[in-house]
């Protein structure tokens, strides 16, 4: 680079000199220039064109890089917007779920309690059925004994009544016998 700068400085001076001569009305500058000057001016011109092409090429490369970067930024912006939309949709979904059953937790707690009570009721139901059977059996036994008691009381009353009748009959007989002895 440092070697090219003096050459390009020298070449740009020659180019400037050519342009000054051309602009001053001296149209036959080719005849006044020496072969060496002519070659230097051609070299300077070709170097100038090469530098211009290189600058143009660099400019295109930079433009392409900028456009590529802009494309990436645009894509990232789209992705970011998409992610924001997804976040919004997810928030809306959660709100919708909450609205669908605002008392879901309370319902779940009550259902759990119902399940627990059902589990407790099952053995109690078996106990009730067992006690009911025992009660029916005891009631049946009680009723049978009560029936037996009634039968026995009935028999007792019959016996007592029979006994009274017999005693009354005996007493009447005795009374008749006493009356007959006295008369």
* Interatomic CA distance for residues 101 and 150, integer angstroms: 67
pLDDT of residue 99: 72
Tens digits of residue pLDDT in 17-43: 554 444 444 444 445 558 887 888 888
Taking only Cα atoms into account, the Rg of the chain, rounded to an integer number of angstroms, comes to 67
Contact in structure between 11 and 36 (CB atoms under 8 Å):
no
pLDDT mean across residues, the chain? 82
pLDDT of residue 37: 79
pLDDT of residue 1: 40
pLDDT of residue 134: 96
Q: Which of 5-19, 80-94, 114-128 has the weakest average pLDDT?
A: 5-19
Read off the pLDDT of each residue in 138-157 and give the average, rounded to a whole number: 96
**pLDDT > 80? residue 114:** yes
Q: Which is more confident, 28 or 165? A: 165
**pLDDT > 70? residue 119:** yes
- Judge if pTM exceeds 0.85: no
What is the DSSP code string of 133-159?
Answer: HHHHHHHHHHHHHHHHHHHHHHHHHHH
% of the chain with per-residue pLDDT over 90: 52
Read off the pLDDT of each residue in 48-74 and give the average, rounded to a whole number: 92
pLDDT of residue 79: 92
Contact in structure between 8 and 51 (CB atoms under 8 Å):
yes
Residue reference for tokens 């092409």: 53
């Amino acid at each position: 680079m440092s070697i090219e700068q003096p050459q390009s400085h020298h070449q740009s001076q020659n180019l400037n000199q050519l342009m000054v001569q051309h602009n001053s009305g001296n149209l036959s500058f080719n005849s006044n220039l020496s072969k060496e000057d002519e070659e230097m001016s051609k070299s300077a011109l070709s170097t100038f064109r090469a530098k211009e092409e290189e600058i143009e090429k660099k400019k295109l490369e930079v433009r392409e890089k900028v456009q590529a970067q802009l494309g990436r930024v645009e894509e990232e912006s789209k992705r970011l917007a998409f992610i924001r939309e997804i976040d919004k949709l997810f928030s809306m979904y959660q709100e919708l779920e909450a609205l669908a059953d605002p008392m879901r937790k309370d319902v779940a707690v009550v259902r759990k309690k119902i399940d627990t009570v059902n589990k407790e009721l099952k053995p109690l139901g078996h106990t009730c059925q067992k006690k009911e059977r025992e009660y029916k059996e005891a009631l049946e036994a009680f009723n049978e004994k009560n029936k037996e008691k009634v039968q026995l009381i009935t028999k007792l009353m019959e016996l007592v009544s029979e006994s009274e009748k017999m005693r009354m009959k005996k007493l009447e007989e005795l009374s008749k016998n006493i009356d007959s002895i006295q008369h």
